[in-house]
Structure 1
Amino acid sequence: MSHKIISLFSGAGGLDIGFEEAGFEIAVAVEADSSCCDTLRRNCPNLIVLEGNIEDFSSEQILQAAGLKPLEAALVIGGPPCQPFSLAGNRLGLDDPRGHLLKEFIRVVRETLPIGFVLENVRGLLNWDNGSAKELLLEELSKPIEFNGQVYQYKVADPKVLNAVDYGVAQKRERVFFVGNRLGLPFKYPEPSHVPCEQAMLLNKPQHKNVWDAIGALPHPDEPSETAQRVAQTIKGRIASHGY
């Protein structure tokens, strides 16, 4: 079975790293931000990076760059820009041009026919416009696909919000995940590996990590620059206005 992945909206490669650590190989990365592309190329010199808007790349071009044919990829993964659905933003959703990138993810899945897919986004996507974005994704990702005289269909699990802190990351970061496969197999989301400190002994699991766990061993920092001090003064107001 193939372990090659098509990565969309790759950013600096954070999601890709997780899949690589799980034993997969990133065959191609598609990313529009030039700085992110520079980071990907620097960290992964052998990675094929398609730099540009995903709308400008056909699925055939993406497959060709990855050295794959339809049905051969293990997964298509990605997190389309989340600002249109963020609880801290204007929440324009599908009316925002970036919201249409959800449809580009669907397009690539349907035309490349990987064994499965993983899409992640902010939890605000679930309830935008009374759930219309969620229903669009579930409906479109579940539609039958005809290819070379055969019909394929993805079995899509109910989307679920997972919090990174529950899996050993020193950050409370909630994201909703949409997972599906065309083998008809049921999917079960992983159980949390870490729990709040008051539950750790009772459940016999490690407690949530904190910032000190993550960076406590680093050397003492230099004195903050004038720019850093100026930005720090805006944090309180930003939290009050936007929640972050």
Structure 2
Amino acid sequence: MPKVIDLFCGAGGLSYGFEEAGFDVVAGCDIEARFGETFEANHKNAKFIHAPVAHLKGGALLQQTGMEPGELDVLVGGPPCQAYSVYNHQRGMDDPRSELFEDYLKIVGELQPAWLVMENVTGILSIEKGALIDRIKGAIRALGYADVDHYVLKAEEYGVPQERRRVVFIANRLGLPVIKPKPTRSTPNFVTVWDAIGDLPAIHPDQNPTEGVKYACEPMNDFQAWARGKLDAVTNHRSPRLGPANQERLRHIPEGGHGAISRSTFFQKE
């Protein structure tokens, strides 16, 4: 099986996709130690390395995973995106977090994986009026990856019940063409929120069951069957605490609405 290492791995979501596709996830690295337990639960045979990627050494990483230079098939990573997010109004290259993609590429140079996959938010497209994209691709080519490209991928086109855009860089040093992943869904066949969670039982504000709660019905579609797996109850199915005023505000939102309530209701105090 082709081997994968995930940098900035978090709970292991990006590498989980590779595992679902038949790859062997051997390790993940993140600065947050609390992510390790979830990462290793998602990837039973993988090793979690608690360290800032900036302090990581390729040689040590190979030693910990029992590989030789050039043996790794894919290095994936999603450097934290706050520096490039459109919600960060001071975003740009002056933010220290913007250097994290350079830390990722340093490890690429030391490990020399056959393929690399790096993802980030779409805000990265407008940094330096687009020059940052060219700089990243130039740095990747300088490491020996002549075949490199980037794409804006839409999560809903690949079966995710969410509108999410991500810029994904893909490159290889094998002389193979880089091809944009072909979408698996299109309107009107997107997976909707109802498709995803329509089988969950209703709960009331402040209702926080300590044990699993039975599903409201049998799986209504393939997504629900996949999401629950072999479970017959929902765990961590909790409602946030809502005071009387917030409950009243929610009651005034019509079905399918999104905040269209009177000012007097909206501004009433607890």
- TM-score (norm. length: structure 2): 0.75
Given the alignment of the two structures, is residue 74 of structure 1 paired with residue 73 of structure 2, yes or no?
Answer: yes
Given the alignment of the two structures, is residue 41 of structure 1 paired with residue 40 of structure 2, yes or no?
Answer: yes
Shift of 1:45: 4.4
Counterpart Cα distance in 1 of 2:22 and 2:153: 21
Counterpart Cα distance in 2 of 1:22 and 1:41: 18
Other-structure match for 1:103? 102
Superposed, which structure 2 residues align to 1:104-119 within 5 Å?
A: 104-119=103-118
Quote the RMSD (CA, aligned, Å): 2.2
Given the alignment of the two structures, is residue 229 of structure 1 paired with residue 246 of structure 2, yes or no?
Answer: no
Superposed, which structure 2 residues align to 1:23-62 within 5 Å?
A: 23-62=22-61
Other-structure match for 2:64? 65
Match of 2:180 among 189, 197, 218: 189
Shift of 1:43: 3.5
Cα deviation, 1:64-111, whole Å, max 9, x if unaligned, reads 112111110001001000010011113433211111110011111111
Quick check: which has more Rg, 1 or 2? 2
Q: Which runs of 5+ in 1 are unaligned?
A: 146-152, 198-206, 237-244
Counterpart Cα distance in 2 of 1:183 and 1:218: 46
Counterpart Cα distance in 1 of 2:161 and 2:89: 28
Counterpart of 1:7, as a letter, is: D
- Secondary structure of the corresponding residue to residue 94 of structure 1: coil
Given the alignment of the two structures, is residue 212 of structure 1 paired with residue 194 of structure 2, yes or no?
Answer: yes
Counterpart Cα distance in 2 of 1:155 and 1:113: 13
- Secondary structure of the corresponding residue to residue 83 of structure 1: coil
Flag the structure with higher helix content: 1
Other-structure match for 2:155? 164
Cα deviation, 1:137-172, whole Å, max 9, x if unaligned, reads 1110001x5xxxxxxx21333311011001111000
Q: Do the aligned residues in 2 keep the contact of 1:123 with 1:161 (CA within 8 Å)?
A: yes
- Secondary structure of the corresponding residue to residue 39 of structure 1: helix
- Secondary structure of the corresponding residue to residue 76 of structure 2: strand
- Secondary structure of the corresponding residue to residue 154 of structure 1: coil
Q: Do the aligned residues in 2 keep the contact of 1:83 with 1:91 (CA within 8 Å)?
A: no
Counterpart Cα distance in 1 of 2:148 and 2:141: 10
Change (3 A) 1:95 1:6: same
- TM-score (norm. length: structure 1): 0.82
Change (3 A) 1:164 1:91: farther
Counterpart Cα distance in 2 of 1:227 and 1:216: 19
